[in-house]
Amino acid sequence: MKVAIAQIAPVILNRDATLAKVVTSIHDAADQGCKLVTFGETLVPAYPFWLCRSDAARFEAQDQKEIHAEYLRQAVKIPMPGIERSANDNHLADVCEAARERRISVMLGVAEKAVDRAEHTIYCSRVFISGEEKTAGKILSVHRKLMPTYEERLAWGIGDGAGLQTHPVDQFVVGGLNCWENWLPLARASLYGQGETLHVMLWPGCLRLTNEITRFVAKEGRMFVISASGLIRNEDIPIDVPHRGTMLDENGIYDGGSCIAGPDGNWIIEPVLNREELIVADLDSNRVLEERQNMDVSGHYSRPDILELHVNRKRQSVVVFDD
């Protein structure tokens, strides 16, 4: 199966312009025969890289309020069952249509403006859109990052287990996690136990993030691992972004680092740095079967009589109505 990583830069804090780049990448991947295309963490409308550059923890700081307000305005609404909104509130409609039209599955990182949380809290969300025949163009799961990392907690809410799901794509079972939650052994185990054979890690874009864990998880799970990274450069920050000057860095911001490792832990694609690129690879599902001959962490090498994982996949809410 052919897969793609769209290592692209967002148009910072411009949802519509960034989504247009996403749709273009979907069509480019489909043109090359890919069945799955992946994107970086909160690519739309941006990873909040400004937090570590602007002393963001200052309480009641006006500049932080103004940047956060713009982040909320540009964040992504995703329709949810039972919550009525206008037809224009599905910001991923064009992405879903491209997936449906081209029969290609999409894993995309978005800053989600949660409609079930009054639309004023942002979650770091991994969205899976199916390209399979019976479900093409449908959003099958939205996984909200379980625990934002360090300064990310100044911008994002804490997620839940509702999106800890895997999905079939051609010959593979695909799951994915956001950035550092890939280091959580039990989060990984929740996907392994659902038969995962292709794991996608979504990153903001940095070699030091992807270089070690990609190969480690591939060897642990005896499966393919894709690390999909974004890319952020000074030129990707529009001139009208609030407090733009605090975001610039003469040494660059995020350098990419997208890569793919095989079930033996060796590189299929080594980390790609400092450029936008559609990275394409052909993955052979038989390699998973070969490597699981001697190690299958949820199968013959597990001990469910001793070790058992309980996962709560309910979407958490502050209010429950019994009507």
Write the pLDDT tens digit of every residue in 245-272: 999 988 889 999 999 999 999 999 999 9
Percentage of the chain lying above the pLDDT 70 cut: 98
Per-residue confidence (pLDDT) for residue 261, from 0 to 100: 98
Show Cβ contacts of residue 106 under 8 Å, excluding neighbours closer than 6 positions: 26, 36, 37, 38, 39, 95, 98, 99, 127, 128, 129, 131
Instruction: State the average pLDDT for the chain.
Output: 95
Cα–Cα distance measured from residue 315 to residue 53, given in angstroms and rounded to the nearest whole number:
33
**Rg (the chain; Cα; Å):** 19
Q: Is the pLDDT of residue 203 over 60?
A: yes
93: closest CA among 104, 109, 77? 77
Per-residue confidence (pLDDT) for residue 86, from 0 to 100: 60
CATH dotted code for 2-291: 3.60.110.10
Q: Is the pLDDT of residue 84 over 70?
A: no
Structure-token match 């990583």, residue found: 5
Q: Region 16-22: what's the mean pLDDT? A: 98
Per-residue confidence (pLDDT) for residue 319, from 0 to 100: 84
